[in-house]
A and B are shown apart, each in its own frame.
Chain A
């Protein structure tokens, strides 16, 4: 069996995994993402794609195959949709343009207005742009931090329904969420994070059926 795509502490993801990272505010979800990406120094070693990347700078880890959709979307506000995508690509020009067209096709919401400045987009459109941007470099590991926050149910469904097919193509996906009910529908496994530690883990169906989940997530 090949090495896991991601391994940090007790958390390991293999290709094709969708893992839900559950926990309330301050549980440490964003902190974990920043550790994986290298924004914060970590005592725990981080392994990506079978290599120890603990000392690597952020850019190098990202180019090795990590896509990141941050909490609050953080699209490049003054750039257009197309420019956001192009700026996020490290491919040669011909491939870059082809990949942008693929993304615009894959996300019709963006394809409708490729030349709109990102700050004029709705929250849902910005979230799709943030996701498309993370996919530009064809990552093998996708990290999503609170992707459903503040989105209308229709957009949430659209967003979450895209994760399954992407995983089926071999991508590993880690989704940080506090709305467990939503994300456990698409994840295979889940972990509950509290005060920076994993306090519960299991298959998605086990967790979804667990009556104590609400209290666990509320930090009890």
Chain B
């Protein structure tokens, strides 16, 4: 997400001010509604836009906020709004733990089931919700008109400014990693589960606040407010406006509120037009209208900031030795790793070689916690790290780069730079030189030398045996999951078993 520039900030502040000064009450009411829907949308951007999780409960939680205000406003007045926030955030927090682990389509279904439960309750628990008739006559203690407009827009502007500021920096980068490459995020120590939990609860809290404010605007609450159409409206407006643009939710909400007025003759056909517009945006402008407007204004989307390796590498505190003892891993009946034992000291560079399928990447995955070892132990000094989650392993000092990343805008070394940035004592590099030019290879070699000098331990996989011979203190050769040679580069390269496993001549001799 980009930062909010002056143009959009001006729009955001001028809109409510002008509304207060020039618009008749009816127009002001529309501006309030824009603010309310935008607030729900901003909360939705957190979960759907930043983390890419298709949450289908946002509309129902909006309804929960509305009902809460309808029930508590007669006694609490404005204080019913914080209660609405809690009322929406609480069920989200309760179900979040188990359902956030689910994959995309199951997560969507789980939130849909939650939303359906809320809707059922609104219709059928008549003693509280008033059933199909809903609730009315609760606004006596609530502000209305211009004051309500000011409250809504202050909430909205604050939320947008805070969110835009947060996600314009390193947090936005981390969110992008979580969305596009969750495994990489984990190996950089980002706890995806925690992020999703926080985003889901905050997003739901905003839905509750928006719902509560909507009750204050309309003065009546009925079960429709928990229904699926509200959810569809929220989703489509965020997509239409731009799921990751700070102004996306506002723009989408503005269109959603104004379109029915513009198409008044067509009555409910406006929703048809709205859905059609959303479909067109999904097909041809997936970044949304706000981004499209930025492009017309000549503002280019900022390429994501790729971290660069700092010129001077600081020495880091942390564990001294990574020890593998008898590590084994099976996939089905196939032994991917068997009895792998070695140690890696700080300030040492070890190269891992072997033919395709010999288990090199699996070994890195097992050390980094992406796969669980079936046998043996992996120790960091005296601490066993076998059964830690990947992000926890990253936090105790093991960083990781990947073979081929589909991240946009990243330079070759960005991935390594990310890993260095975490201050890891040990770095696992998976084919950093694959597809690199000669120039990039020599840069890589000097980077590895600097890492050694800064006291980091490096385990590196590559097929460029010259590069490894120049940079590594030792080489380990894997064949069918087992260590067949370990020692100084020249020794390992001269080893007949190593040559055979690279060339496949062992079968040729049979």
Contacts and interface: CB of A to CB of B under 8 A. Distances in A.
Interface of A: 24-27, 146, 148-150, 153, 156-157, 177-182, 185, 195-196, 213-215, 217-220
A155 B357 CA distance: 17
A97 B505 CA distance: 40
B502 A218 contact: yes
A26 B434 contact: yes
B431 A181 contact: no
Interface in B483-510: 499, 502-505, 507-508, 510
A214 B435 contact: no
A25 B435 CA distance: 10
Contacts of B431: 25-26
B465 interface: yes
Nearest to A24: B463
B508 A185 contact: yes
B481 to A, nearest CB: 11
A19 to B, nearest CB: 17
A179 B504 contact: yes
B464 interface: yes
A149 B503 contact: no
A149 to B, nearest CB: 6
Interface residues of B, number: 20
Interface string B448-464: 00000000000000011
Q: Give the most central of A148, A153, A181: most B CB within 10 Å.
A: A181
A181 B465 contact: no
Interface in B341-389: 355-357
29 contacts: A24-B463, A25-B431, A26-B431, A26-B435, A26-B463, A27-B463, A146-B356, A149-B356, A150-B357, A156-B507, A157-B507, A177-B504, A179-B504, A179-B507, A181-B503, A182-B504, A182-B507, A185-B508, A195-B435, A196-B435, A213-B503, A214-B499, A214-B503, A217-B503, A218-B463, A218-B464, A218-B465, A219-B466, A220-B464
Contacts of A150: 334, 357
A179 B499 CA distance: 11
Interface string B18-30: 0000000000000
Contacts of B463: 24-27, 218-219
A3 B465 CA distance: 40
Interface string B438-480: 0000000000000000000000000111100000000000000
Nearest to B504: A179
A27 B436 CA distance: 11
A218 B462 CA distance: 9
Contacts of B435: 26, 195-196
A168 B463 CA distance: 35
Contacts of A195: 435-436
A149 B499 CA distance: 17
Q: Give me the 7 closest cross-chain CB pairs, A-B, nearest first.
A: A179-B504, A181-B505, A26-B434, A181-B508, A24-B463, A218-B465, A220-B466
Given A181-B503, A217-B503, A149 B465 contact: no
A156 B504 CA distance: 11
Q: Give the most central of B355, B436, B466, B507: most A CB within 10 Å.
A: B507
A148 B499 CA distance: 18
A218 B461 CA distance: 12
Contact of A220 (B357, B465, B507): B465
Contacts of A156: 507
A215 B357 CA distance: 19
Given A214-B499, A220-B465, 14 more contacts: A24-B463, A25-B431, A26-B431, A26-B435, A148-B504, A178-B504, A179-B503, A180-B503, A180-B504, A181-B503, A181-B508, A185-B508, A218-B464, A219-B466
A27 B355 CA distance: 13
A16 B283 CA distance: 47
Given A156-B507, A185-B508, A179 B355 contact: yes
A193 B434 CA distance: 13
Contacts of A182: 504, 507-508
